[in-house]
Amino acid sequence: MKKILLSVLLSAPLWVLGQGFQVNLQGQKQIGMAGAGSALALDEASVFYNPGAVTFLEKNSVSAGVNPLLFKSAFKQSGSDITENVKNKIAPPFEFYAVWGPKSNKWKLGLGVYTPFGGLVDWGDNWSGRYALTSLNLKAIYFQPTLSIKITDRIGIGAGFVYNHGEVNLQRALPVNFPDGHSGHATLEGTGKGYGWNAGLYIKTLSNISFALVHKSKVVTKLDNGSAGFDVPKSLTGAFPAGNTFNAELPLPATTSLGVGIPLSQSTTLAFDASWVQWHVYQDLTFNYAQPVNGSSQTKSARNYRDGSSFKLGINHQASEKLALRAGVGYAFSPVQDGYVTPEAPDADRYILSAGLGYTPTSHFEVNASFFFEDVKSRKQKNIETGLDGTFKTLVYAPGISLTYKW
Amino acid sequence: MKRYILNSFIAAAILFTAACKPEIETPAGSTAGQANFSKYIAVGNSLTSGYADGGLYLEGQKVAYPNLIAAKMATVGGGAFTSPFFTEEHSNGSGYLALTALVNGTPTLTPVADKLAYRDAAKHLDKYSGEVQNLGIPGMRLDLSFDPTLTFSAANPFFERLLADAQVGKTNYFQFIQGRNHTFFSLWLGNNDVLGYALNGAVAVTGDPTTTLTDKVTFASLYTNMLNVLTANGQKGIVATIPDVTAIPYFNTVTVPALLAAAKAINPAATAVYIQTGTGTVRAATSEDLIRLPFQSAGLFGQGTIPYGLHPLNPIANNWVLDKDEVIKIKDYVNSYNSSIKSLATSKGLAIADTYDYFNQVKTGLNIQGVGINAAFISGGAFSLDGIHLTPRGNAVIANVFIEAINSKYGATIPTVDITQYRGVKFPN
């Protein structure tokens, strides 16, 4: 096992990413540990982190949580003395879980509703990169019914079917000017759906060190009949027809994770997760239009993402019967190659820091809170397609809270 | 108690978040380097003045590339920069062309006739008195800067408006630009020494000094004189090369293949477009022969019992055409002027904005900060409605070419211009 882990670590620079549009906020306990915990049967969020561990949960439970996320990105054009910031907009990644199974039986059912991918950036209509992008609002909501089965007292497997409801709203300015000088504007908006699965294996060794292997499949989200609106001077409406629609495909990548859980003492547990995010599926962002736009029925923007990876280490300490404290650190390698960084995902390698606490006033109720921070490294880039040339720097803050009822 | 802790935790997190913005450092800091921008003067022609859309008017003056550069110089010790702006009441200056319709790609250009700045029937423009640092004068040529007759100062209305009555007809541009105590200069002059000839279809009109081609040796010698005066007190500055005038939309919008296609649409039997060359020969035109932009709206093509331009007996007249050999000749002069400009500037240790090289890239097409720019008429974004001069966006792009050359030569850190804040052609709504 150590050898496998070691080889995973060594090969990491060859992979990539971690992030892009991935949102790693699916359970307050795990978030408090930087997103590690696939090898711990911590709570109902295992429906997402490892379906194989769900059957080892002692109680039935339902929980709901939210992590208001602030994505604070800044841009400075090369040679400029002006730093521009995205508007303060709060994205609401949320999670809902339910786990039920007859007591001391070998199986449990689970349901998860969560937001594993998304993006909310609004640079405003007047920033220096507005002809590349003014705003993006992307949401993917996964619905995942799950079955988890104990094969032995120490081995569990689980799998769930994933239905994705996706929404996208992408806007940019067009470099054509109205008589008063203001620019044209394009808005692409649509909803789509996709399917996938999530399966996991959970092994608890005799030494109580636990292992996890989890694969979440790619989910190709198809957007059909989205609206393609172009606000241009009337003399150009021939080239930018009104009432146009588009079809597009957004592939959300598969993630394979290896997890280890190590009990340090009766009250303290260490968790480590290594994830390989198969972002290579995102080669281009293509919109096919029902009516040609400015002479072409398609706009195709190369993305050429590589695969990415992330490494997360977390600790969970039960300070008292009622109070748990958590902390975590992590690092993620960006899937975005040089020349392909865009303002919709101004991605770079990033550090992750987190903290959390849990409070259990009664045997039925639990409150968990977390704070998640990401420092995305500064990255100077000239985009090959748009020529947008400058430095991006991003900080991500996400406080979160969840409530759980157990029985 | 525990809830209180939890609430404080969340409140603290939110406050923390609101306060912490990402920072981006600028490693080079803010400096003028070895240059001194406290008094910048811009010497040049229509491009320097902000002339656009076939006229000089206030909006264009405000976004002339020297004005954009000067605004950015202010952050590294640059002083005020004065320009001979038209007043708001007469903001349309000499008048200009507006795009009033675009039907199936065919533009209608209409002269703007209100708020003009003509002060008399002879079309003299409103005078501007007072300090001027944007010294760009539409139509100015290097050879005419040294006009020994001093008459050009009266003949050119853009020059005349900057002169006190007593000076009109008594000075030339070379004298005019002197004695201004500048600490830094830009010099982009010489375009009209070849453009004036090219715009007339490579026909030099007797008695019209604006249509001649300046001799190559004369050009080098006059350019030396100009630089000697501008650097007399050791001032630093920047010179710019002359773009390939045959690469501008004025010569690349009405093409021979397009004319032939239009003719064939009416008469499928049409086989060739006929032109009269500079040597008087009549022959079938090829895509290497360039037709001037105004031919589009001249209403000549295909007219008459012997259809104009479609028969060897009624060819397109020489002054509408830069034939292949004239193109070669013009390119040769541009190259010669540019090699003089570059070697003289290098010997004086001046920065060089290689606009020749840059406009060749524009002709191929470039993407800058998400904006596609090319040399296409109207849609290209860089050239204004006269097909010769720049849009505000084109001025911003060229300002950055100057700024980058200045920064690189003198170790300065003049911030670049955000080109996305400047428009291309205005499309009718």
Asked if residue B184 has pLDDT above 70, the reply is: yes
Binding-face residues of A in 343-362 toward B, CB within 8 A: 357, 359, 361
Compute the radius of gyration of chain B from its Cα atoms.
25
**Residues of B in Cβ contact (< 8 Å) with A172:** 370
Report the residue of chain A nearest B392, measured CA to CA.
A181
Domains in chain A (CATH in brackets) are 2-406 (2.40.160.60)
In the three-class reduction of DSSP (H, G, I as helix; E, B as strand; rest coil), residue B222 is classed as helix
How far apart are the C-alpha atoms of A278 and A202, rounded to whole Å?
22
pTM equals 0.91
Instruction: Measure CB to CB from residue A129 to each of B9, B101, B369 and give the nearest one.
Output: B369
Domains in chain B (CATH in brackets) are 40-248+323-421 (3.40.50.1110), 256-322 (no CATH)
Alpha helix segments (H runs only) across A232-362: none
pLDDT attached to residue A14: 33
Provide the residue type at B229 as one letter: V
Binding-face residues of B in 244-273 toward A, CB within 8 A: none
Phi, psi of B410 (to 5 degrees): -110, 5
- pLDDT class for B2, splitting at 50, 70, 90? low
Asked if residue A157 has pLDDT above 50, the reply is: yes
CB pair distance less than 8 Å for B371 and A178: no
| Structure-derived torsion over alpha carbons of residues B152, B154, B159, B164, reported in degrees to the nearest 10 | 140
pLDDT attached to residue B27: 67
CB pair distance less than 8 Å for A233 and B101: no
**Residues of A in Cβ contact (< 8 Å) with B16:** 397
pLDDT attached to residue B70: 98
How far apart are the C-alpha atoms of A39 and A46, rounded to whole Å?
9
**Residues of B in Cβ contact (< 8 Å) with A81:** 26, 30, 75, 415
How far apart are the C-alpha atoms of A156 and A172, rounded to whole Å?
48
Chain segment B109-152, per-residue pLDDT in tens: 999 999 999 999 999 999 999 899 999 999 999 999 999 999 99
Chain segment A366-394, per-residue pLDDT in tens: 999 999 999 999 999 999 999 999 999 99
How far apart are the C-alpha atoms of B58 and B88, rounded to whole Å?
8
Q: What counts of helices (H) and strands (E) characterise chain B?
A: 14, 12
Chain segment B264-317, per-residue pLDDT in tens: 988 888 889 999 998 989 999 999 999 999 998 888 998 989 999 999 999 999
Place of tokens 């998304």: A118
Chain B contact for A232, CB < 8 A? yes
Phi, psi of B10 (to 5 degrees): -70, -45
Chain A contact for B109, CB < 8 A? no
Q: Once rounded to an integer, what is the mean pLDDT over residues A154-161?
A: 96
CB pair distance less than 8 Å for B2 and A234: no
pLDDT attached to residue A10: 39
Q: What one-character DSSP code corresponds to residue A400?
A: E
Chain segment A61-78, per-residue pLDDT in tens: 999 999 999 889 999 999
Chain segment A172-183, per-residue pLDDT in tens: 999 999 999 999
**Residues of A in Cβ contact (< 8 Å) with B30:** 81
Q: Once rounded to an integer, what is the mean pLDDT over residues B210-214?
A: 92
pLDDT attached to residue B297: 86
Question: From the CA of A240, how many Å to the nearest CA of chain B?
Answer: 13
B268 or B72: which carries more pLDDT confidence?
A: B72
Phi, psi of B340 (to 5 degrees): -65, -50
Binding-face residues of A in 81-100 toward B, CB within 8 A: 81-83, 85, 88
Asked if residue A19 has pLDDT above 70, the reply is: no
| Structure-derived torsion over alpha carbons of residues A175, B258, B388, B105, reported in degrees to the nearest 10 | -30
Token pair of B51 as six digits:
């002339």
Chain A contact for B366, CB < 8 A? yes
Q: Once rounded to an integer, what is the mean pLDDT over residues A324-343?
A: 94
pLDDT attached to residue A8: 39
pLDDT attached to residue B28: 66
Token pair of B352 as six digits:
């060089």
Of the candidates B273, B300, B302, the one whose C-alpha atom is nearest the C-alpha of residue B288 is B273
- pLDDT class for A278, splitting at 50, 70, 90? very high
Q: What one-character DSSP code corresponds to residue B282?
A: E
pLDDT attached to residue A230: 95
Chain segment A136-152, per-residue pLDDT in tens: 999 999 999 999 999 99
Asked if residue B240 has pLDDT above 90, the reply is: yes
- pLDDT class for A213, splitting at 50, 70, 90? very high
Place of tokens 């013009």: B330
Chain A contact for B303, CB < 8 A? no
Chain A contact for B74, CB < 8 A? no
Binding-face residues of B in 4-23 toward A, CB within 8 A: 6, 9-10, 13-14, 16-18, 20-23
Chain A contact for B26, CB < 8 A? yes
Q: What one-character DSSP code corresponds to residue B260?
A: H
How far apart are the C-alpha atoms of B299 and B309, rounded to whole Å?
12
Token pair of A83 as six digits:
């730093």
pLDDT attached to residue A366: 95
Contact A26, A95 (CB under 8 A): yes
Asked if residue B179 has pLDDT above 80, the reply is: yes
Beta bridge partners of A101: none
**How high is the mean pLDDT of chain B?**
93
Contact A247, A224 (CB under 8 A): yes
**How high is the mean pLDDT of chain A?**
91
Token pair of B359 as six digits:
């406009």
How far apart are the C-alpha atoms of A117 and A219, rounded to whole Å?
11
- pLDDT class for A11, splitting at 50, 70, 90? very low
Q: What one-character DSSP code corresponds to residue A181?
A: S
- Sheet of strand B184-188: strand arrangement: B40-44, B184-188, B236-240, B351-353
Asked if residue B83 has pLDDT above 70, the reply is: yes
Cα atoms in the 13 Å half-sphere on the side-chain side of B178: 14
Contact B382, B367 (CB under 8 A): no
Phi, psi of B326 (to 5 degrees): -70, -35
- pLDDT class for B375, splitting at 50, 70, 90? very high
Question: From the CA of B418, how many Å to the nearest CA of chain A?
Answer: 6
pLDDT attached to residue A15: 31
Q: Once rounded to an integer, what is the mean pLDDT over residues A196-218?
A: 96
pLDDT attached to residue B39: 97
**Residues of B in Cβ contact (< 8 Å) with A382:** none
Report the residue of chain B nearest A322, measured CA to CA.
B2
